[in-house]
Amino acid sequence: MPATNQRTFNFPVSQIRGKLRHQHQPHPGLVDALQDFVDTTKLHPVISDFYEQTTSYRLLATVQWKTWFKPFAFLYQGMSRLLQQLNLPFSNQQIEMTGRIVKVDEEQDSRQSPRAWIRTIKQQTVFVAIYSKHTSNQTTYMNIALPLPFSTMVGILYAYEKQGQLHLTSKQGEDAGIYLAIGKYVMQLPLQEHFRIAAEDNQTLTAVHKMTLFGIPFLHIDYHIQKNQQTRQGISGHKEKVHIGTHQKE
């Protein structure tokens, strides 16, 4: 028999499936130190601050679905509202995304120091993404899980700096890609995504998120990111208890 060409995926995958239910402690940022992923000496300090103190920033988003994909996006909306995952608006008007970050149990997730970023629009959950990291062949990747019923979508992103901007991509690096994990099986999906984050000044950033399906663009999101006025004035916010939870794979 000829040797198989099937690639073996050795990176850690979140074991969380379904919705999050239990209470967890708030966490300030998506990462503990951006320098774990990329040389930050050529990046504006506000970029590192955003990733390490994410909850101190306000996000305004403009979602643009490509014309050819709009019928599919419209049909998917009903399901996405029910799942409270990938629940992006159909309108291309700028809208504020609020959110919170909470710690996730390492034993239930099985990855290093996981934390969930829960983003909402008008109190409707649009994203639940659990951030972690892993290192392979001396490269550290962002390892992001989006829990789905009985499965998890996994985004492995490679970070690099170019012309003072931060780029995160699923197209570059040995492990990078978008995957679907069902049980013990992990399959690569024909999806790709790319983020570009740039500093406007000491308090403001812009970001662009592009996604393709079979190499064809279908989603474009522009973000305007501004440090909260309360944070700039040094006012400490009141920490509220957050209720989310985990449902571990059986």
Residue 17 lies in a domain: no
Beta-carbon contacts of residue 198 (< 8 Å; ≥ 6 apart): 47, 164, 165, 166, 205, 206, 207
Write b or e for each residue in 95-111: b if 16 or more Cβ atoms lie within 10 A of its Cβ, otherwise e. Answer: eebebbbbebeeebbbb
User: Does the residue 73 lie in any domain?
Assistant: yes
Which pLDDT belongs to residue 60?
96
Tell me the pTM. Answer: 0.86
How confident is the model at residue 194, as a pLDDT?
A: 98
Low-confidence ranges of the chain (pLDDT < 50): 233-250
pLDDT of residue 244: 41
Residue 16 lies in a domain: no
Q: Which domain holds residue 109?
A: 23-233
In a domain, 192, yes or no: yes
199 in a structural domain: yes
3 is a domain residue = no
Alpha carbons 206 and 197: distance in angstroms, whole number: 6
Domain count, the chain: 1
- CATH value at residue 63: 2.40.128
